[in-house]
Structure formats: structure tokens, C-alpha cells
Structure 1
Amino acid sequence: MTHMSHAPTKQAADRIWLASYPPTVPADLPPLAHRSLGHLFEESCLRYAERVAFSSMGREMTFRDLEEASRQVAVWLQGMGLSKGDRVAVMMPNILQNPVTVYGILRAGLVVVNVNPLYTPRELEHQLNDSGARAIFVLENFAHTVQQVVARTPVRHVIVTTMGDMLGLKGHIVNLVVRRIKKLVPAWSIPSALSFRQVLSAGARGTLTPVDMGLDDLAFLQYTGGTTGISKGAMLTHRNLLCNKDQMSYWLDSAFLRQKRPDVLNFLCALPLYHIFALTVNSLMGIATGSHNVLIANPRDLPALVKEIEKHRIHIFPGLNTLFNALMNNEQFRKLDHSSLILVFGGGMAVQRPVAERWYEMTGCAITEGYGLSETSPVATANRVDVTDFTGTIGLPVSSTEVTIRDEDGTILTHGEVGEICIRGPQVMAGYWNRPDETAKAMTADGYFRSGDMGYMDARGFIKIVDRKKDMILVSGFNVYPNEVEEVAAMHPGVLECAAIGVPDENSGEAVKLFVVKKDPALTETALKAHCAENLTNYKRPRHIEFRTELPKSPVGKILRRELRTK
């Protein structure tokens, strides 16, 4: 995407936020040290070969092991005839195979398409077709979903892995428990599927052909809901992610103004790696700094999560408001020694002041709130990490990033005035995959990305979000688009019309509420919820359903969601 030149505007020219920067953070990024994510990855694996890169369920993987296994994946992909720019989907939780596969795809010169493993067949089919993915790596627990749609997609290679595949001897026991005792693997049959083990051993017999990757080549298609309810792929380049990694590294460095930097940093990776927040802040930052990421496959299992936190003396903990809240209500967590914590980074959804204050009181480590989107790789702004006060804002634009607040006409507003938060910087995506119309709508003429969030900037450059422009609902850090929920509900023959809105929820920030006018008087809440469960992944499902005789409408007959919100 070309960024047009323009006369600097008052607010952009001032960059007033620079005066509020920590002393160690530069206003602008120096030139990038790496030409691609693969280049950074290979260099780190060489430099930190003996260190542990990732651990999962007690099994540790060194940077050397990670380099070797990811190379095997890359060699196999190239051997299957996939060439530069082809897309490969990854549908797994936080297990060792996830980073192995993702970095293998990148090293082969291909593009990663992250898929939420909990997607329903309908959601998965859209993403595979839209991205044009040629292959998919999936955990066996979710293979039955792939089985239902794979024939209707461009996918030609299905690689299935098991929970225990990289856990050594312990893996057999883990697989037995997952399959037989917990019964977490629904029956599936994909005749042409290969096992992850087969891919590694085939890859071990070949050599990797270097691919000439440039900074503007695509690295990820990161899917995000669309205002139209159709999920769109944000095109993230190697430059986007390397710049965001550098922006975060400078920010992180300022945390060591207050305390000594440990020899090796331990990151807690409780957020899913298919989410852009964990991908950049955990995986990329961890690789770049030679750090250890403790992978948590199921953060809902709080007792197991707390054991991992206790065992590993965590230094860096990126999380969501909901996770911080849940941990503080866990008796075991409250008893832990939290003195190792250096940086707790809150993103994905607003951090609530009571949660932040209670957390600081309990752990002695403040939650630093940041802000970003899939379209910004993700971090665009962050609060200072060298101070402990909770600002209630999303902080300052990071290095090389400009933020302006604009009204409906695109005019830049002055400080304190509420408008749309617009972002320009090297981490802003190259556009939406195959959607030039949507890309044009999302960008201003002078190259700023319109976030869809409403807020204002104060005189020191701190930004406060006040509302969302779109009708989007934010459930535990995931975007839910009302159109998609309504479309699914409307597929039920008993529904005449419906509207979805977000309502406050103490666990997830917001929850989906659906208002319905019945076509069939016999329609029940239970039946409609069951129908939604078949077609929508868990966080998108309506938690509340209210039946009405009619819905508020505009003169042209458009259902007015905002009226439902105020009633």
C-alpha cells in the first residue's frame, strides 16, 4: 500500500506524546536489523541454542530443538510443492507444535493463516476459502471440524497432530488421557491426512531451500471480524511484525529502569498464539530476546495455570482483564510469591480500574495497559512500564507511530475532543486480503488506519477510549460482530427478525444479547441457543435472549441497535 505524502497536520507535527516517553525509548525506530521473520528466528536459534525457548506440560524445548523441528516442517512444505506466498493454516492451541509449525511455514517462505481451534465448520470453511489455504495443521481434537469442510476448500494437505506428539515418553500418557479418559477427541476420518510425526521425519531427510523474503512480503493473514460480519484477513508483512517487535522491545527495556534485568526472562503465554497479541508480545518478543515462553494450552484450568506460574517464576505476563480477575479469585494464586513479576501487560479489552488496583495490591506489580488491533500487528499505544500508577488510559503512541483523533469528515480534532482514533506507523497492515473496497474504507487519504474506536487525547499525549464507533461487541478480547450473530440466528426457521448487542458482563467484559421477534410462537430460548451453538464459536454465542413483539426501526426499516442498548 502506498502512503501518500501530505503536509504535516498540527497534531501530527507536534507529537506531544514524546515529552511523556520513558527516557530509554526513541521517538523513531532505527532501521530494522533483520530482513524477515525467518532471518530473525534463525539468528536467535543460533545465538540462544542452549536456552529453553518454549515449555509445555513440563516438557522443555530448546532453541536448537525448535530450529530443527521447524526446519523439518519447512522442508516438508517445500517438498509438497508449496511456493513463496502460498497460505498455510494453523489450527491449534498453545502446544509446542504451534511455534514449530508457524516458524516452519515462515522459513519456507509461506504465509501463516491463524485459525481459532474452536471455530465451527461454517466459520472454518469461510476462512480457508477466503485465504486460499493450501494446507492445514490441526490438533486431532479439532480434526472432525476440518473433516466436515475440507472437500469444499482449496486445502490439499491436512496434517494432524496429537497433544502428546512433542512431549517425549510422557506423550503416550497424555494422549491416552486426552482420548480415552477425558474423551476430548471426537471421531474423525480424513483418508489423505498425514500425522505431524510423518511430516517431521520426511522433512528430516531433505534440505531447506532458502527463499528470498523481503520486508514487504506477507507473513500472516490475521483474520478479524468485519463490520459487515464477514471475517477479513489483515495482511501483515514481515516489516509490520518486526517493527512491532522492536517497538515493544524498547518499551520493555524501560521496565528495567526500576529493577535489574534477569539473565533469562520467563514469559507466561496464557493467551492463545492464534491471537495477534500473544503472537507478537509472547512468541516474537520471546524469540528475539532469547526468552522462555511457558505455553498454557487451557487457561480456563486455573489450578493447572497457577501451578505453572508458581513453578516458573514468571517475569512477563501478557493477559486480559478477565484472566487477571479470575486469578485473583483463586486462593492458591493469592498465596504465591509474586516478587518475580516485572511486567504485566493488559490488552485485548479494557483493564478495569478496580481489577488493576486490586492486582497491584496483591502482587506488587502494576498492570500496564496497551492498545492495538489485528490491523496494527497489534500494539499501537501503551502506558509507561517504568511507573506504577494506573492511568485508566491506553497510554501513548509507541515509537514511529502517530495517532490523530478525527471527526466524521476526517478533520483532526484538538486535545480533549472525542473522535475516531486513527493510527499511522510501520506496524499498520498492508490492507485487507482481496478486499480493496474494505481497505479503502479503513484508511484515510494520508495513510492512517481508522480504528473504529472513539476516544480523545489529553495534553500529555495519553489516549482514552470512550466508546466504539462500530456496533462491535468485545467478549474477552475477541471481536464479535452483531451482523454475524444475527445472520446465524435468522437461519432458524422460527425467527422472524433479530438484533444483537453487547451487554456488560463481569466475567468477559461484554456478552452477546439477542433480541428476537418469533415467526413460530413455539420457538424457545433453549432451541435457539442450541442452533447458535452449532454455527458460532463459544464467545460469539448469545448469552441472553429476549423475545419481543417488535424491534425499534428507522424510517427506512433498519433495526436500531442503539435503541435496544439504551432501553
Structure 2
Amino acid sequence: MNESREPSWPNIAAMTASAGERFADRTAIVDGDDRVSYAELYAEARRFGAALVAAGVEPGDRVGIWAFNGRAWIVSLLGLYQAGATLVPVNTRFKGREAADILRRARAKVLVTVTGFLGNDYVAMLAGSGVPLPDLRTIVVADGEPSEPAVPWDAFMAGATPEGLAEVDRRRAALGPDDPSDVLFTSGTTGTPKGVLMTHRRTMGVGTDWVAMTGLTAGDRYVLVNPFFHMFGFKGGILACVAAGATMLPQPVLDVDRVLGQVAEERVTVLPGPPALYHAILEHGDRRRYDLSSLRVAVTGAADIPVELIRRIRDELPFSVVVAGYGLTEAGTATSTSPDDDPETIATTVGRARPGFEVRITDADGADAAQGEVGEIVLRGPTTMAGYLDDPAATEAVLSADGWLRTGDLGRFDEHGCLRIAGRSKDMFIVGGFNAYPAEIEAMLLEHPDVRQAAVIGVPDARLGQVGMAFVVPRSPALDAAGLIAWCRDRMANYKVPRLVELIDELPLTESGKVRKNALEARAADRRG
């Protein structure tokens, strides 16, 4: 275990103030026609904090943000910390009832949202949810036309007063590293979402470690594709940029043409994202007409990255640093590869423990698994969560008194000490008594030259209990299901071979680029009738 370094600031508000001074004239945000310096960003954040004070927000109160990536999201985030408040981000894919449930459970007092994103009016969706929100006092519309009871952004910001600004400065000085910073709700694909409670020290630690992992500097220009409601976009994106003084280029939606255009026009150097982003760039028909020579850092992560994709990223794109990592909402980034690792290591592993982290593989009894054996990934480190919001039983089930977190993910260490992800424990299925790991089967399917993408789930079987079903995006029209199953039988143990294969045009993905396995399970159930 390498020693981690404590963040240099007592809280995120102080880190923002420091950036406003150290990088005053550097461009902090490029968002459409808007160009905001770090000095201007800090001033806007202070005003937003003072407006929260005027709205009755007290230290520790929770502020929700339900909006697309953009300038207002960044200002709201950094501003709520100036007021000593706690962030509650809301997934932009959520419907009204889902969002209202998060805001109700978090007892959010203020919500920053939009009314015109991809045809969605989030204020109307919330009003029609049927969920009472007794704690929600103020709804601020950052983009779009507000309707009662919401207030427009400019009107809300006008509430900042000299007295409010002075109060903000007092709160910033009083805010400690162990005060709450954010409550990120897990995706909830296996049940009710849980609120992951973090502190300023922990959350800053994710951002500053991301800077160390990538070598991010004040000269970098970072395209923010990952959604801000997700840990990657918020902590590995906004906070990493603020810590380093890098320029943020937020993307409301993933539009590869827009991204390529910005890379060329803005001389972008840092472009993290899911494997699907790099695949889309490599397959883009007009890629070569864009000047991508400025690109320096690529960061991705998944259990099923094809080795050939990493080779192509290195060979066909100008990145000098390509890193894969493993992280989760409850712990931040726990492991990563190194820039000097070979393509196979980057594609098939998530590297080694980050500084300050310890990682173990445990068997069903909680003992350390034998070398090379698959078991649950258990870890401990400086950015592990404080616990689940208002749920001590759920916290106790995964977090030990001495700080070890049961991740629910399955993995093993290879002969070089690198962690290989085998999937989620909930995704594992048992075929005639044998444990089958979807990520392992998916990786093998991706070795077929005509397979572009693959996702595997377990489905009921009368004889074996469960068998594998593969959803495959073909690279070639020559691929057929029967032929692929036959190919698998030559290369996999029989219990791993998918008994069913469905060829589809695209896999259903979350906004962070992960496959929505619950959607595939529903599709498989419909197919069974």
C-alpha cells in the first residue's frame, strides 16, 4: 500500500477560493459562447452561496442538482459549498417519481434544475410525481422557462447581498474536512437506491488523486463527457479540474461530432470516457479531418474492454497516457493501471491499488481467497464512504468497524498482482453447480472478429437452473447466433457457453456508459413469454 497524501485544503469551498486566486486569469469553463476565468468562477460561486443564504439554507442543509452538464451545474456545485451545504445530484434519466423520491429522502431544501433538456421539463415532472416534498423550499431553473413555483436563475442570484457574502466567508472558514460534502445515490438497479454519504476530505481526496493518476495540470483542457451526477464527472471531472486549474469543457450529451470539433478547436488534451466513446471516435467516418494532435490523456474503465480497442487507441489516436481504473460510488477510484502498462494489462485488468488503498479478494466465509481465485473485492482506503444515509443496517452490512468495504464486485488478482474484474456478485449465475461470471464470458466473446459488443446475463433453465444468454452487437452481417455458439463451444468450458444468443443493433447503456443489465433481463423475460 502506497501512502496517500492529504488534500491541501480543509474543504472544497477553500479549494475553490484557492483556485480563484492561483489560477485567476486562466479559463475555468468553456460552455458554448461562455468563457469563464477561475476568478470569475469563484466570484459566481460566492454569489450563488450568498443566494442560498438568502433562501434560508443553513450549514449542512442539502441542495439538489437535476440538470445537464454545463456552467450552471459547476457554479451551483461550487457555490453550495460556499454556503456550507451538502450536494445531492439527481440522474438526468430519472422520471419525476424517481427524482422526487431522492429529494424526499435527502430532505433537500433547494433544487437547481432545467425545463428544456431533451424535451424534459423537470419541474413539471416533479409536480406530477405525486410525491410530497415538504422540505423543498426553492426550485431554481438554470435553463429553460420557469413556471410557478420555480424561480429563474438570474432572479435567484439577485438575492445575494453583502451580508450574505460575508456570511458565506464565515461559513467557508468554519467548514471542516469531516463535515458532509455530498450524498450520491447508487443506481438502484437491484432495489431502492442508497445514499452514499461522503465528507469534504474524502471527496477532495478522489479529485486530487485523479490529478496524480493522470498528471492533470493547469495547462490541460478537459472535455467533461461523464455526467456530473456521477462520481466520475463530479469528482474525477469538476473537482480534479479545480484542484489542478485545468479548463473544463462540459458536454450536455455525448455527441461525437461535437466532441471532435471541440478537440480540434479548443486544443483539448484530456478526454476520459467509457470504452464506447473511444470506439465511436475510432469508427467515425470523418475522424481524420479533425486535428486531434493535442490529445494527451485517455481514462476509461470496464470489465470488458477489448485488447484491440486499447491497441487502436494507442496506435491510431495521439494519447500518450492511457489509463484504466476501478472505482465505485462508495469508495472513489480504488485501483488503476499505469501509463507504462501494455495494452493487454490496460484492457484486461484495472491495475493496482491507488495510494492509501488496500484491496483483498475474499471467499464466501470472508477469508482471503487463494491466489488467482475469484472472490468478492473488499477494500479500505482514504476515500471510502462514511456510510449510507439514514441506513445503519445497510452500512453495517458492507462497512466494517475498521473501514473494510464489501463492494459486491467479484474479481481476482493475476500473476502480476493486477486486479481483474469478474463482474458483480449479483450478476454471477450458477450453471449446473458451476459459477459463471458474465464479464469473463463477455471478454471471450469479444475475441470473435465479428463481435463488436457483448453483454451476458443468466436466464432460468429447467435442467441446469440457469444458463447464459448473450446479447451481441455484430461487427459484420455474416455473424449468426448458431455459428457464434458453436465458436464458443470450441473455446469455453461448456457451462460458460451461452445457450441463447440475440443479435441486437446496440446495447442499452446508462449515461456513464455501463450496460443496463436490468433492461436486458426484462427483454429476456419478454422473449420467454
> TM-score category by the smaller chain?
0.7 to 0.9
1:198 aligns with 2:173: no
1:406 aligns with 2:368: no
C-alpha distance in structure 1 between counterparts of 2:34 and 2:176, whole Å? 35
The question of whether the paired residues in 1 share the 8 Å contact of 2:303 and 2:423 is answered with: no
The match for 2:372 is: 416
C-alpha distance in structure 1 between counterparts of 2:397 and 2:313, whole Å? 40
The match for 1:554 is: none
Deviation at 1:201, TM superposition (A): 1.8
The match for 2:256 is: 302
Deviation at 1:308, TM superposition (A): 1.1
Q: Indicate which of 224, 233, 252 corresponds to 2:186.
A: 224
When structure 1 is superposed on structure 2, of 424-433 and 407-416 the one drifting more is 407-416
Q: Indicate which of 109, 126, 137 corresponds to 1:156.
A: 137
The match for 2:71 is: 96
The SS at the match of 1:465 is strand
The match for 2:234 is: 279
1:55 aligns with 2:33: no
Q: Indicate which of 257, 278, 290 corresponds to 1:324.
A: 278
The match for 1:179 is: none
Q: Indicate which of 116, 120, 128 corresponds to 2:91.
A: 116
The match for 1:146 is: 126
Q: Indicate which of 398, 414, 426 corresponds to 1:458.
A: 414
Q: Which amino acid aligns with 1:394?
A: V
Deviation at 1:505, TM superposition (A): 5.1
Q: Which amino acid aligns with 2:277?
A: L
Q: Which amino acid aligns with 1:440?
A: E
The match for 1:73 is: 48
**Structure 2 length-normalised TM:** 0.77
The match for 1:559 is: none
The match for 1:207 is: 165
Aligned residue pair count = 441
Structure 1 residues 248 and 386, CA gap change in structure 2 (3 angstroms):
farther
Alignment of 1:232-247 (within 5 A): 232-247=194-209
Q: Indicate which of 308, 323, 344 corresponds to 2:298.
A: 344
The question of whether the paired residues in 2 share the 8 Å contact of 1:235 and 1:432 is answered with: yes
TM-superposition CA deviations, 1:133-184 (whole Å, max 9, x none): 1110001223222222486112111111216xxxxxxxxxxxxxxxxxxxxx
The question of whether the paired residues in 1 share the 8 Å contact of 2:263 and 2:294 is answered with: no
The SS at the match of 1:319 is coil
The match for 2:17 is: 42
1:293 aligns with 2:248: yes
**Greater relative CO (CA pairs within 8 A, separation 6+):** 1
The match for 1:429 is: 385
1:467 aligns with 2:423: yes
**Structure 1 length-normalised TM:** 0.72
Deviation at 1:230, TM superposition (A): 0.2
When structure 1 is superposed on structure 2, of 150-159 and 264-273 the one drifting more is 150-159
Deviation at 1:240, TM superposition (A): 0.8
Q: Which amino acid aligns with 1:420?
A: E
The match for 2:523 is: 544
Deviation at 1:387, TM superposition (A): 4.3
TM-superposition CA deviations, 1:261-315 (whole Å, max 9, x none): 7x6111111111111011111111110111101111121x322222112112221
Structure 1 residues 151 and 465, CA gap change in structure 2 (3 angstroms):
closer
C-alpha distance in structure 2 between counterparts of 1:78 and 1:404, whole Å? 45
Deviation at 1:388, TM superposition (A): 5.1
Structure 1 residues 271 and 349, CA gap change in structure 2 (3 angstroms):
farther
Give the gaps of 5 or more residues in structure 1: 1-14, 16-26, 164-184, 256-260, 475-481, 483-498, 508-537, 551-567
The question of whether the paired residues in 1 share the 8 Å contact of 2:352 and 2:418 is answered with: yes
The question of whether the paired residues in 1 share the 8 Å contact of 2:361 and 2:411 is answered with: yes
The question of whether the paired residues in 2 share the 8 Å contact of 1:74 and 1:208 is answered with: no
C-alpha distance in structure 1 between counterparts of 2:289 and 2:68, whole Å? 28
The SS at the match of 2:159 is helix
1:389 aligns with 2:327: no
Deviation at 1:216, TM superposition (A): 1.2
C-alpha distance in structure 2 between counterparts of 1:405 and 1:388, whole Å? 24
The question of whether the paired residues in 2 share the 8 Å contact of 1:113 and 1:220 is answered with: yes
Structure 1 residues 150 and 200, CA gap change in structure 2 (3 angstroms):
farther
Sequence identity percentage: 25
